[in-house]
Structure 1
Amino acid sequence: MLETFNVLRIDEPDFGCEGRPDGMAVKDNVLLKSNYTGEEMTVREKDARLYELDINEGDQVFLIDGEMRKIR
């Protein structure tokens, strides 16, 4: 059985007035809460991947080999 998580918060990095360095893949901090244990954990995920999978705050996800997947 796969453990499922609620996405509590997605924090995007703030690069300030300098902006994002060229060629750097932006990674967000994603705060997850286990639906099984209630424990919270933070994982880092590429911002583009979150958009690709349409993962937003309030969604339910699971992790397979460290990769996040949205529960449809």
Structure 2
Amino acid sequence: MEYFVKRIDEPDFGCEGRPEGKPAMDKVWLEDENQHTIVIEIEDEKLYALDINEKDRVWYSENEFRKI
């Protein structure tokens, strides 16, 4: 399904840093054409690799996440 990326929140680990062995996970707010919003968690590195930013159009399903 097609979505609009409304917002991306990167984690803030403060002075303690990221837990060892765990990837940084971003919260991504996606909005569909009917203005229904879902929030998913995606690895920060994957968002950078896919060049996905706020205001982008994306395709998201259980098996796929990509920029349109």
TM-score in terms of structure 2 length? 0.91
Q: Which whole-Å CA distance do the structure 2 matches of 1:58 and 1:8 have between them?
A: 6
In the alignment of these two chains, the number of paired residues is 68
Structure-2 residue corresponding to 1:11: 9
TM-score in terms of structure 1 length? 0.86
TM-fit CA distance, 1:68? 1.4
After superposition, residues 1-72 of structure 1 pair within 5 angstroms as: 3-35=1-33, 37-71=34-68
The residue identity in structure 1 corresponding to 2:67 is K
Q: Which whole-Å CA distance do the structure 2 matches of 1:40 and 1:64 have between them?
A: 14
Q: Which runs of 5+ in 1 are unaligned?
A: none
1:19-58 deviation digits (Å, cap 9, x = unpaired): 11121111100001002x2101101101000001000001
RMSD of aligned C-alpha atoms?
Answer: 1.1
Identity %: 47
